[in-house]
Structure 1
Amino acid sequence: MSSPVPPSPPRVAVVIPAYNEEDTVATVVQVALDFTPEVVVASDGSADLTAEVARAAGARVVELPHNRGKGPALKAALEAATADYVVMLDADLVGLTREHLEQLLAPVLAGDLDMAIGVFEGGGSFASDWGNKLTPNLSGQRACRRDWLLSVPRLGEERWPEPPITDHLRETGARWGYVELGQVRQVLKETKRGFWKGARARTRMYADLLTYRRRKRRG
Structure 2
Amino acid sequence: MSAAHSPLHPSALVAVLIPAFNEQETVAAVVGVARQFAQEVVVASDGSSDGTAQAARQAGAVVVELPENGGKGAALRAALNATQAEFVLLLDADLTGLSAAHLQTLLDPVQAGTLDMSIGVFEGGGFVTDWGNKLTPHLSGQRACRRDWLLGVPGLGEERWPEPAITRHLKVTGARWAYVDLPNVAQVVKEKKRGFWRGAAARTRMYVSLLTYRVRRRKS
TM-score higher than 0.5 here?
A: yes
8 Å contact from structure 2 (residues 13, 85) kept in 1: yes
* Corresponding residue number in structure 2 for 1:132: 133
8 Å contact from structure 2 (residues 12, 38) kept in 1: no
* 2:22 pairs with 1:20: yes
* 2:74 pairs with 1:83: no
Q: 1:10 deviation in Å?
A: 6.8
Counterparts of 1:115-154 in structure 2, within 5 Å, are: 115-123=117-125, 125-154=126-155
How many correspondences in the alignment? 210
Q: TM-score w.r.t. structure 2 length?
A: 0.94
8 Å contact from structure 2 (residues 117, 143) kept in 1: yes
**C-alpha distance in 1, partners of 2:155/2:162?**
8
**C-alpha distance in 2, partners of 1:68/1:210?**
18
* Corresponding residue number in structure 1 for 2:106: 104
Q: 1:135 deviation in Å?
A: 0.4
RMSD: 0.8
Looking at CA atoms only, which structure, 1 or 2, has the larger radius of gyration?
A: 1
Uncovered stretches (5+) of structure 2, i.e. residues with no partner? 1-10
- Amino acid across the alignment from 2:33: V
Uncovered stretches (5+) of structure 1, i.e. residues with no partner? 1-8
- Amino acid across the alignment from 1:49: G
Q: 1:136 deviation in Å?
A: 0.4
- Worse overlay, 33-42 or 208-217: 208-217
8 Å contact from structure 2 (residues 14, 87) kept in 1: yes
- Amino acid across the alignment from 1:146: R
Q: Classify the secondary structure of the residue corresponding to 2:108.
A: helix
Q: 1:218 deviation in Å?
A: 1.6
* 2:183 pairs with 1:162: no
8 Å contact from structure 1 (residues 10, 85) kept in 2: no
8 Å contact from structure 2 (residues 122, 186) kept in 1: yes
Q: Classify the secondary structure of the residue corresponding to 1:156.
A: helix
**C-alpha distance in 1, partners of 2:139/2:60?**
28
* Corresponding residue number in structure 1 for 2:58: 56
* 2:215 pairs with 1:211: no
Displaced runs of 4 or more, over 6 A: none
- Amino acid across the alignment from 2:191: E
8 Å contact from structure 1 (residues 28, 91) kept in 2: yes
Q: 1:180 deviation in Å?
A: 0.2
Q: TM-score w.r.t. structure 1 length?
A: 0.95
